[in-house]
C-alpha cells in the first residue's frame, strides 16, 4: 500500500475541473471499439452497487451497449488471502479516501489508527446530524455489507410503498429473482452449531425468552467457503469476525461475482473503474451528458475528465450519491426541470448501531458477517421495531473488555420506521451538496423510543445491558429521489425521458424493518423490467 500524504481532493476541484474542461475528454483505450470511437454510449449507469448491478445486467441482456462508471476499484479475491484490510490491521483498503479509521464515530476514539489515503471500500459520509456508511468499488455496498438478505413483511411493505407496487408480485417475481442470482441462503445448521456462531444462538435464545417472534434470514455468503475457513483451508475471515472491510476468504457473495460478472459476460457491458462522476446535464437531442474524473489509487484526478453522451442515464450511485448529483444538477440549471421532490424524503431506515453486554458467553469477535435471524417487535406499544445481529469487530470486542465494560457483548442493528424528513441542499459557495437529518425533531423521537423499548424488554428479560445506542450513524441511507414523487413508479425521473433512478434513492426512508439491499435490488429489477419493455430502449443514437 502506498504511504500517501497527498493533499485531499475537494469536491470543488472535481467540479471546477469538470466544468472548465467540459468537452475535452473522450473515451480512451480501455473501452470497447464502439465506445472508443465516439463519446456517445447508448446507456450509462453511474455506480455498481445493488441498483447499478441490476441495471447493468438487464441492459446487457437486452442487447444495450452500456458503460458503468464506478468511482472505486475492483476487488478480485487474491489467493494469498490479502485482498482486503482487516479490523486488526487496517490500512487504506478499508476506507474511501480517509487518513484514519472510523472508530471515533462509534465513540471509541482510542481505537483510531492512521491509514494511507486510498480508494478503499468503505465511505464515511458526514452529514449534518447523521454519519452515513456506504460502499465504494465494483459491487458497491455488497463489498462491505453483512450479507443479510431479508424481505419485509407484507403489511409493512404495503404501508410504506405506493399501493401500485404489488407485494404479491414482488414476492413471486422480483425477490426470488434477486435471491437466485445472489445465491443467498440461511446459515447451515452445522456451521451455526460451531463456537464461532455462539453469539447468534445466544441472541436467538434471548429473543425467545423476551417473547419476541423471530424468523431466519438468508445471507449472501458462500457457506462452503466458510466450511473451508473452519477446516483451515482458507484464510479465516467470516469466522474471524471480519466484515465491513471485505472478506479475504471470498465467502461474501458480492455483486462483482454474480450480477456484474453476468452483465459483463453479455459482451454489452463495460465497467470503467476509478471514474468518479462529478456532474450530469442535459445534452442536445434529448441526450444526457456525464462528466467523470479518472482517479488514481490515492484519489487524485488523472488528466482531463471523460464526457460521455448517452440516451439512457441510470443513476445508481447510492441514495446519497444519486441525490447529490440530482440536487446539484437542478441548482446549477444543468437539469432545471427536476421537481421539488428531488433531495427530499430521506431517512436511514431507522438503522441504529447497538452494542449489548452482560450476555452469557458469546464468543463475540468471531462468526460473521451477520446473525442468522431477525427479531420483530411488531406489538411494541410505541412503534414496530426489529433487531438483527451483525458481527462484532474483534478489536472492538477486545477494547470493550479492556475498558472494563460488562462482559460478553453482542453487536446489532436496531431497525425502525423513521419519518422521512431528511433532506439535501446545494451550497453554491462551496459547490457541495449536504445532507441534513433533523435528529432532534420530535417526530424522530418516537421511533427512537420504540427501539429503546424493545432493547429494554430484551435486557429486563435476560439480565443484559444496552451499552451503546448510536442514532447518529447509519449504514442504510434511503430516499432523495423517491418513487411516485421525484420519479414515477418505475424509477423514471419526472419530466426527463431517458433519465432513471434505480438505487436506494428511490425508497422513502424505510424498507419496513428489513435491511435494505434485498428490496433495493428487487425494486430495481421491477424498474428494469418495465423500462426495457416500454421505453423502446435501443442502441440507436
Using the rule CB under 6 A, is 120 a contact of ligand FAD?
no
Among 59, 64, 85, 136, binds ligand FAD (CB under 6 A): 136
Using the rule CB under 6 A, is 290 a contact of ligand FAD?
no
The smaller minimum CB distance to ligand FAD, of residues 475 and 522, is found at 475
Among 25, 47, 92, 152, binds ligand FAD (CB under 6 A): 47
Q: Is the peptide bond before 204 cis (omega within 30 degrees of 0)?
A: no
Among 18, 25, 51, 365, binds ligand FAD (CB under 6 A): 51
In the complex, least distance from residue 96 CB atom to ligand FAD, rounded to whole angstroms: 8
Among 60, 102, 365, 370, binds ligand FAD (CB under 6 A): 370
In the complex, least distance from residue 280 CB atom to ligand FAD, rounded to whole angstroms: 10
Among 412, 424, 515, 537, binds ligand FAD (CB under 6 A): 515
Among 165, 517, 527, 537, binds ligand FAD (CB under 6 A): 517
Using the rule CB under 6 A, is 316 a contact of ligand FAD?
yes
Distance, C-alpha 444 to centroid of its chain: 23
Using the rule CB under 6 A, is 127 a contact of ligand FAD?
no
Using the rule CB under 6 A, is 221 a contact of ligand FAD?
no
Helix, strand, coil shares of the chain as percentages rounded to 5?
30, 25, 45
Q: Which residues of 225-258 are buried (b: 16+ CB within 10 A; e: fewer)?
A: bbbbbbeeebbbbbbbbbbbbbbbbbbbbbbbbb
Using the rule CB under 6 A, is 254 a contact of ligand FAD?
no
In sequence order, which ranges of 148-248 are alpha helices (DSSP H)? 154-160, 167-169, 175-182, 189-192, 198-209, 223-231
Q: What is the DSSP secondary structure assignment for residue 494, as one 8-state letter?
A: T
> For residue 60, which of 42, 76, 73 has the smallest C-alpha distance?
42
Using the rule CB under 6 A, is 318 a contact of ligand FAD?
yes
> For residue 314, which of 338, 286, 280, 347 has the smallest C-alpha distance?
280
Instruction: Measure the CA–CA gap between 317 and 123, rounded to whole angstroms.
Output: 12
Structure-block grid coordinates of residue 9:
481532493
In the complex, least distance from residue 244 CB atom to ligand FAD, rounded to whole angstroms: 4
Residue at grid coordinates 441490476: 54
The smaller minimum CB distance to ligand FAD, of residues 73 and 462, is found at 73
DSSP SS3 for 227: helix
Contact 539, 42 (CB under 8 A): yes
Task: Choose the binding region for ligand FAD from 56-64, 78-86, 377-385, 515-523 (rule: CB under 6 A).
Answer: 515-523
Q: What radius of gyration, in Å, describes the C-alpha atoms of the chain?
A: 22
Among 85, 144, 207, 387, binds ligand FAD (CB under 6 A): 144
Site residues (vs ligand FAD, CB under 6 A):
46-52, 69-72, 133-137, 140-141, 144-148, 244, 276-277, 316-319, 321, 370, 475-476, 503-504, 515-518, 520
Amino acid at each position: 500500500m502506498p504511504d500517501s500524504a497527498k493533499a485531499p481532493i475537494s469536491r470543488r476541484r472535481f467540479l471546477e475541473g469538470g466544468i472548465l474542461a467540459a468537452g475535452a475528454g473522450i473515451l480512451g483505450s480501455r473501452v470497447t471499439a464502439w465506445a472508443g470511437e465516439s463519446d456517445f454510449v447508448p446507456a450509462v449507469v453511474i455506480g455498481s452497487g445493488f441498483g447499478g448491478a441490476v441495471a447493468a445486467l438487464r441492459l446487457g441482456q437486452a442487447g444495450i451497449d452500456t458503460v458503468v462508471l464506478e468511482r472505486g476499484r475492483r476487488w478480485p479475491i487474491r489467493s494469498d488471502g490479502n485482498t482486503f484490510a482487516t479490523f486488526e490491521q487496517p490500512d487504506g483498503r478499508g476506507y474511501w479516501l480517509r487518513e484514519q479509521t472510523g472508530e471515533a464515530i462509534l465513540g471509541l476514539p482510542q481505537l483510531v489508527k492512521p491509514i494511507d489515503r486510498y480508494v478503499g471500500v468503505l465511505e464515511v459520509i458526514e452529514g449534518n446530524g447523521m454519519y452515513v456508511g456506504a460502499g465504494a468499488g465494483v459491487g458497491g455496498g455488497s463489498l462491505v455489507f453483512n450479507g443479510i438478505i431479508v424481505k419485509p413483511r407484507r403489511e409493512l411493505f404495503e404501508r410504506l410503498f405506493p399501493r401500485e407496487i404489488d407485494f404479491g408480485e414482488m414476492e413471486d417475481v422480483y425477490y426470488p429473482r434477486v435471491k437466485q442470482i445472489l445465491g443467498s441462503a440461511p446459515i447451515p445448521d452445522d456451521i451455526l452449531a460451531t463456537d464461532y456462531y455462539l453469539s447468534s444462538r445466544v441472541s436467538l435464545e434471548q429473543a425467545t425468552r423476551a417473547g419476541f417472534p423471530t424468523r431466519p434470514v438468508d445471507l449472501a455468503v458462500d457457506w462452503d467457503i466458510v466450511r473451508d475457513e473452519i477446516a483451515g483451508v482458507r484464510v479465516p475471515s467470516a469466522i474471524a469476525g471480519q466484515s465491513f472491510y471485505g472478506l479475504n476468504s471470498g465467502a461474501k457473495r458480492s455483486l462483482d461475482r454474480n450480477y456484474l460478472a453476468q452483465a459483463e459476460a453479455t459482451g454489452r457491458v463495460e465497467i470503467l473503474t476509478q471514474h468518479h462522476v462529478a456532474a450530469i446535464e442535459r445534452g442536445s437531442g434529448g441526450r444526457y451528458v456525464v462528466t467523470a474524473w479518472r482517479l488514481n489509487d490515492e484519489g487524485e484526478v488523472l488528466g482531463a475528465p471523460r464526457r460521455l453522451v448517452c440516451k439512457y442515464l441510470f443513476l445508481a450511485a447510492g441514495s446519497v450519491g444519486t441525490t447529490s448529483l440530482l440536487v446539484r444538477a437542478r441548482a446549477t440549471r444543468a437539469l432545471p426541470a427536476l421537481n421539488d421532490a428531488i433531495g427530499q424524503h430521506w431517512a436511514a431506515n431507522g438503522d441504529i448501531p447497538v452494542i449489548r453486554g452482560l450476555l452469557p458467553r458469546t464468543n463475540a469477535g468471531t462468526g460473521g458477517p451477520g446473525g442468522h435471524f431477525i427479531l420483530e417487535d411488531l406489538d411494541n406499544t410505541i412503534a414496530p421495531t426489529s433487531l438483527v445481529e451483525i458481527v462484532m469487530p474483534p478489536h472492538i470486542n477486545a477494547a470493550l473488555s479492556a475498558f472494563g465494560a460488562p462482559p460478553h457483548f453482542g453487536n446489532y442493528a436496531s431497525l425502525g420506521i423513521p419519518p422521512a424528513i431528511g433532506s439535501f441542499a446545494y451550497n453554491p459557495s462551496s459547490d457541495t451538496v449536504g445532507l441534513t437529518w433533523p435528529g432532534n425533531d420530535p417526530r424522530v423521537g418516537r421511533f427512537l423510543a420504540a427501539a429503546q423499548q424493545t432493547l429494554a424488554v430484551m435486557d429486563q428479560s435476560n439480565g443484559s445491558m444496552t451499552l451503546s445506542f448510536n442514532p447518529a450513524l447509519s449504514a442504510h441511507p434511503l430516499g432523495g429521489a423517491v418513487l411516485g414523487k421525484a420519479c414515477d413508479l418505475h424509477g423514471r425521473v419526472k419530466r426527463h425521458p431517458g433519465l432513471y433512478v434505480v438505487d436506494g434513492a428511490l425508497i422513502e426512508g424505510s424498507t419496513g424493518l428489513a435491511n435494505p439491499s434485498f428490496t433495493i435490488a428487487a425494486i430495481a429489477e421491477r424498474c428494469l423490467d418495465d423500462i426495457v419493455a416500454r421505453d423502446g430502449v435501443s442502441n440507436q443514437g
